[in-house]
Structure formats: C-alpha cells, structure tokens
A and B are shown apart, each in its own frame.
Chain A
C-alpha cells in the first residue's frame, strides 16, 4: 500500500446520503504546542495501540518531544518501537528522525510495578512490605478488573508530573467496553475505601444504625455466606489489607482525582478510535456521549481499516460489464477486475451505512479514516506509513 493513498477520497461511487463529516486534522492537533496529552480510546481490537504509536511517531518527526504509553501492545508493534520487555520506564525509540528537533520515547505499562511504586511512594518501606506480602494485594494488583485502567491513569499522572516531555500520547487498556477506562478508577476506589470489607468482616460494628435497621440481621447472614464460599482466610487477608491500606488511601484518592482533572484540563485531547463495524461504532458513540457528560475534550474519531474504492465506476456498471464479458466469453481477467471493483464498492457502501448511523447521532465529530493495510505494522516505516494516512 502506498502512503499517498488518499483516505476517504471524494470519488466514492454510490455515496450515501447525508452530509460528509468534518475532517479530523491530526497534524494540526499534534503541531499545536498547547496539546500536551492525547488519549486514544475505543473498544478492543480496533487498532488503538497502533494509532497511538503512529501518532506519537509522527509528532516526534514534527518536532515534539513525545512519550507514548502503550498498554499490552502486540509483540511486533512493541518490537517496532524497540520495546523488547516490560520495564515500566520510557525508553528512547531508535531511528526517529531528529531533524525537526523532536524525540520519541515509548514504554509499556507494567501495572504490578506501577502499583508497587505507588504504595512505596506513600508509606514507609516496612509498611509497604507488609502490604506487598498480603495475598490479597497480589490479587488486587494483578487481576482486579479495574487495576489496569487505574494504573494507566496513575502512570499518565507520573509522566505528566515530570515535565520531561511536551506531548504524552496514551493508549488505553483493551477493555471490553471503552467506558471502562473512565469508570474503573472509581470502582477500585470504592473497593479500597474499606467500607465494604468492614461490613463483611465485622458487620455489627460498621455501617451505622440506619443501615442495620435497613437490612437487619441479613447482613450478618450475607457475611457468613460469603465467608463460607470464599473461606475465612480470604476475608481475613482482605481485611488486613484494607487496614494496612487505610493510611495510604487518602493519598491514592488525591492522585486519582488529580489525574482525572488532568484529563479535563485544557491541553488534553481525546481521540476515539473505531473500525467501520457496528459494535465498534456503538462503543465509540457511548464514549463520545460520556466525554460530553464529563466535559472532557474530544478531538475526533480515527476510523481504522476502511476499504475505500479507487475508481468512481459504479458497482452496478462494473457488474454489468463483467456479466457482458462473461456472456461474450471476453477477457476473463478484465471481468475479474470488474467483479473485484464491484466487491469493493459494496464493502465501501456497507462501511458508509454503518458510519452514517454514528454521524447522524454525532454530526459535529470530526473523522479521519485510515484504509486497511494488507499486513500488520512490524517496523517504524510501517508506523510512519500509518502516520501519513492519519494526516489531513
């Protein structure tokens, strides 16, 4: 695929009705020095990480000092940026053109290590060790469903605090739903604040009289049932953990709030990534609405893996031509080329219909489409090619 391919060119055959969405100008976004943080979000499997990496590389080539925080990148994508292992520290990406004065560093999030560092940063080494040794900490720092999102936010906060870069590009965890990224920190917080565990481990003493009246002895029964299922040890560990964590909690909460504020601050831009599939666009729609509610700034949407047509010949005429050739036993290769074109027109029209549902609901969201590539990115040139496709 050549980098010169014009995504979503004007010549589409059988263009669907309705207004064409505004074009998302990502070069303008990354060239604007006021842009400090770009968050790439979207549902799993839409090419979020690749988009984040390509955008970061392009920004570095255009003179920004950039760090890109990736979450669980595909192996070859990681290798293409020289990331061989998970080490939780940004590393310089070799091979970036320094001509414009920019630079690129990249890192993969290690959520366990980020959590450890966060604990160490808020307490004495002894107490930190007691927390690390608790089996429940191991559960929560490695497999609790919101931890990855929480730690991605924490890492973003840390990177921003250093002031070492003038642009931070963040990939978001491969959640089942794009909204998890915004909700998970809150979930983890309510988990850690200790109210529930106190109720479960000593329901008689916690909760206040109103609560006790409300649920009566049911809570005792519930606590007993949960303890039967989980085993007393799990509850005891959880309880010990929450107690040890109590002194840290305020600090954690503060950090999470600060990062949340950073996401709303001027200089932050969200880029929603989607593919021309109903599920991905439905998620994108939810996310756009949610960002609106949270007053978080949306730059626009990157629509990955589109299949634009390269000739304006209509699908119907191509099919008729193929049929005519086949009937007359004419040139089979030309007939095949015409069928191929008719397939592409059909695909492009389907993608347009799916996209039209999104644009009708969100007509003001600027969009850039990135045509599908035959192969996956496996080196910096591949990322540069995607960066070219992302430009206006």
Chain B
C-alpha cells in the first residue's frame, strides 16, 4: 500500500492534548457507529470491530439496515440471520457478523412465547410479519435494538465445553447503526415504546434495552469528514444524542488527506518552474499551470478544513483520525484501518 500518512501516525493524543481513546471508551461493551451517508460509517464500524477483537478477543459486528454491507466489506456470501465468523482479528481474536432483521427478530420473539412452528415462515411469506412490524412506529427499532441487547448480554461458560463460570460471549458488540439523520430515533427506545402495549414480552425486553443504552456500557461514535456538511451533521447529532441522554463516544474523522503545503507557503510560477527543472522536470506551460491550479485547490481545501476542525474541537469529544486509503477499502484496507485505530489507543479492556 503506497499510502503516505502524516508523519507516521497521529499518536494517542490529539493536538489539543485530548486522549483519543480514553478508558471510558475502552471499557464500553456496546459501540454504536453512526455518520452522515457516504462518510464511511460501515467501513469504520468494521475496522473498529477488528481493532477491539485484536489480541485474542471476540467481537460481534451487527448491521441493522438489511443492506448486507458486512458481507460486501468482508467479501463473504450474504449473512443469514445468525452470527457467523467473518474475520480473524490482528494478533488472534475473531470478529463475527450478524445482519439483524426486524421480521426475523419478531418471529424469534413469537417463537419464544407462542409455539408457531413452521407456520412462522408461511406468515412471513404472506407479508403478515412485515405488516405487524410496521403497525406501530418504533416497533422495528425496538426489535432491532432488542436483538443487539441480547447479543451484548449473552454469556457462555468459560471452559471449553461451555461449563464453568459464565462470561460474556462477546467482549464488545459494534453496531453499524442508521445514518445521522435517523440514529437518535433508532436509539430512543423509550419514545418508541410509547406506542406499544404496556405489558408483554417485548415491553420487558425494551426496558432492558433502555437501561443498556443509557449506561456507561454503551458509547455512540459519529463518523465525520473534514467538510462543511458532514461536520454540521456530526455536531447536530452530538447535540441530539446529548438531548436524548445517550452516551457520546468518539468523533471518528475519516478520509483525512495529508496537508502537503502549509497555507503560509506561497507558490509562485517562477520558483516552481526553477524547482521543477532542478528535479529534472521540464514541463510545458499548461502543465505548470495545472500544478498551480492543484495548489490553489489544496489551499482552498486546507482553509475549509481548518475552519471545520475548530468547530469539531469545540464539541469537546475524543477524536480519532483516519486517512483516505489510496487503494480504496478492500479487506486489506480494513485491517490497515484497524491497525491505525490501535495506534491511536483503540482497544477493549477485558
């Protein structure tokens, strides 16, 4: 990979001296990842699941929007409604993946309390299950977050045969959540429950979901990019999360490109031409002009970036930075991002 990073990694602390991955984040067990569409939210959720599993852990990466994004990222066949091993983490450890589906989750509930047998499939084919999940706003979200909570809380015996004292099955669960515009509604289970029956199995489970989401076990990360709109949406989301009393995690600034030329360096055509010739490059006028256009655009971009950076800093949250990968994101790129996360202190304290 020929990608060049800024002076070899960005370290454990940001420029303002804020720790990028404080202990509170390392202790969390449910990591919810949101971000404006197109900022790389799913990619970073996957890289985070890899980084948190590193060194012998086990994490679960969950997607909730029915896009089969995990399968695409890890280059595996579409995931069924079952947890499956999708990757081996750096230095040992594994990542499992799960594509949660509201209709399957509803059927799962019904199976627990009513014996529907094979008819469950028929009901689904008829569209009855989908219909039921759309009857009450928020039921779908309650079902999805309910399944996530069940995964976080699941335990296994700690010896090889599954006996002995029980331990959590997953060190951490990472959710590739809906984008910024919809995430607070997705997580605001209390509100969604307003439309459901006052008693019953889902009600009970939802109360557990609310407790988990508002506990220090949960953190919500927001993926951003150094541009106007993504930063605006990030800040709006941070406010909304605070209002809904949901615990903030880190701002993950994605696709940071290197600052090659400080804004203060003026580039003049004569100097550039002389420099190019010294490097053995004898370029035509329009070539030199093209390079100068690129310099202008770079300068313009840096000005925008410095403006939005100070707005992000004002949010007072830990910040993680990830570079744009030259080769795009493939499986190798995911591991590279996971490695960069670890260099910034991203870990799970077991």
Residues of A within 8 A of B (CB): 1, 5, 11, 43-46, 74, 139, 143-145, 174, 176-177, 190-191, 196-197, 199-200, 214-216, 218-219, 221-222, 224-226, 228-232, 234-235, 238, 275, 277-280, 282, 309-313, 317, 321-322, 324-325, 328, 330-331, 333-341, 343-344, 346-347, 350, 353-354, 374-376
Contacts and interface: CB of A to CB of B under 8 A. Distances in A.
A275 B225 CA distance: 15
B165 interface: no
Given A46-B38, A176-B65, A234-B136, A333 B261 contact: yes
Q: 7 closest pairs, A vs B, by CB?
A: A334-B275, A45-B37, A45-B38, A311-B290, A231-B197, A310-B290, A44-B37
Interface stretch (B47-55, B84-92, B120-128, B238-246): B120-128
Contact of A218 (B67, B116, B293): B116
Contacts, number: 212
B276 A200 contact: no
Contacts of B294: 309-311, 337, 340-341, 344
A231 B265 CA distance: 68
B158 interface: no
Contacts of A282: 72
Contacts of B181: 174
Contacts of B69: 279
B99 interface: no
Contacts of A45: 36-39, 179
A383 to B, nearest CB: 15
A317 B291 CA distance: 14
Contact of A216 (B119, B278, B291): B119
B37 A43 contact: yes
Contact of A331 (B37, B258, B275): B275
Which of A176, A335, A339, A353 has the most B CB atoms < 10 Å from its CB? A176
Contact of A231 (B198, B227, B229, B301): B198
Among A232, A279, A309, max chain B CB count under 10 A is at A279
A214 B38 contact: no
Contacts of A336: 260-261, 265
B310 interface: no
Nearest to A276: B328
B37 A145 contact: no
A222 B131 contact: no
11 contacts: A46-B37, A177-B67, A200-B131, A229-B197, A229-B201, A279-B42, A311-B286, A333-B267, A334-B276, A334-B279, A350-B328
B38 A275 contact: yes
A10 B141 CA distance: 49
A228 B25 CA distance: 38
B104 interface: no
A376 B279 contact: no
Tell which of B4, B38, B117, B261 has the most Cβ of chain A within 10 Å.
B38
B348 to A, nearest CB: 27
A334 B228 CA distance: 29
B283 A337 contact: no
A325 B275 CA distance: 8
A196 B271 contact: no
Nearest to A203: B128
B301 A230 contact: no
Given A174-B181, A221-B116, 4 more contacts: A218-B117, A235-B135, A325-B279, A350-B326
Interface in B195-226: 195-198, 200-202
Nearest to B143: A229
Interface in B246-292: 257-258, 260-261, 265, 267, 271-272, 274-276, 278-281, 283, 286-291
B343 interface: no
Main secondary structure of the interface of A (DSSP, over half): helix
B139 interface: yes
Contacts of B293: 5, 310
Nearest to A346: B326
A325 B36 contact: no
B196 to A, nearest CB: 6
Contacts of A177: 67
B23 interface: no
B223 to A, nearest CB: 12
A375 B308 CA distance: 11
Contacts of B4: 339, 343
A124 to B, nearest CB: 27
A376 B36 CA distance: 15
A374 B297 CA distance: 7
Interface string B1-36: 010100000000000000000000000000000001
A226 B279 CA distance: 75
Nearest to B327: A350
A44 B289 CA distance: 36
A143 B128 CA distance: 19
A119 B283 CA distance: 68
A225 B119 CA distance: 14
A149 B257 CA distance: 37
A153 to B, nearest CB: 19
B336 interface: no
A317 to B, nearest CB: 7
Contact of A215 (B113, B122, B127, B257): B122
Interface string B290-321: 11011101101101100000000000000000
Contacts of B196: 229-231, 234
A199 B128 contact: yes
A333 B128 contact: no
B67 A196 contact: no
A310 B297 CA distance: 11
Contacts of B202: 229
Contacts of B291: 310-311, 313, 337, 341
Given A43-B37, A312-B287, A346-B326, A222 B127 contact: no
